[in-house]
Amino acid sequence: MTATSDLGTARLASPELLRSVFRKHAAGVAVITARGEAGPVGFTATSLASVSAEPPMLSFAVGTHSSTWPAIAAGDHVGVHVLGEHQRELAATFARSGADRFGPGTAWREGPEGVPVLDGVPAWTVCKVVARVPAGDHRIVVAELLAGDPTGHGRPLVYHQGRFSGLRD
């Protein structure tokens, strides 16, 4: 059996094509945090992935032009927070350039290894960075879990079609 497709609508590779394709891909939403020289830093990520069970490892991508990159590039530890659908505004705050991400609207505390840990999330981990792999204008960060708490409440927050939303039953 041979599959065919209409190549007449195919477009050449570009950043816009990549963004358009991934608008069709629903992804979980996480916030990555780190301890920076001037205080805590963080960003919203939809690139979180499980890498290994033994040892327990995960990965995420971070832009090298982001305000968070210098802290992740220099630091040994990160916090990874899985967001719930009740945290759309938190996701938007950490995604917005220039936002006061750890201001009065963000509940957090210092966690293991001095990493900022967000309150009220369904799950969080503190991880040791083991690799930073160049990938275009980003780095793929691979990190080993050291500690965490998966007992928070809430249905997962997802990112799809350019917006944050919850799952539908």
Q: How far apart are CA 61 and CA 48, in angstroms?
A: 7
Q: Identify whether 127 is part of a domain.
A: yes
Count structural domains, the chain: 1
Is residue 5 scored above 80 in pLDDT? no
**pLDDT per residue as tens digits for the range 76-107:** 999 999 999 999 999 999 999 999 999 999 99
Q: Identify whether 150 is part of a domain.
A: yes
Q: How far apart are CA 99 and CA 93, in angstroms?
A: 6
Q: Identify whether 69 is part of a domain.
A: yes
Q: How far apart are CA 102 and CA 29, in angstroms?
A: 18
Q: Identify whether 71 is part of a domain.
A: yes
The CATH number assigned to the domain holding 136 equals 2.30.110.10
Largest CA distance in the chain: 60
**pLDDT per residue as tens digits for the range 33-44:** 999 999 999 999
- Tokens 């040892």 -> residue: 55
CA angle 125, 92, 168 (to 5 degrees): 80
For residue 138, give its domain range. 27-76+121-154
Q: Identify whether 91 is part of a domain.
A: no
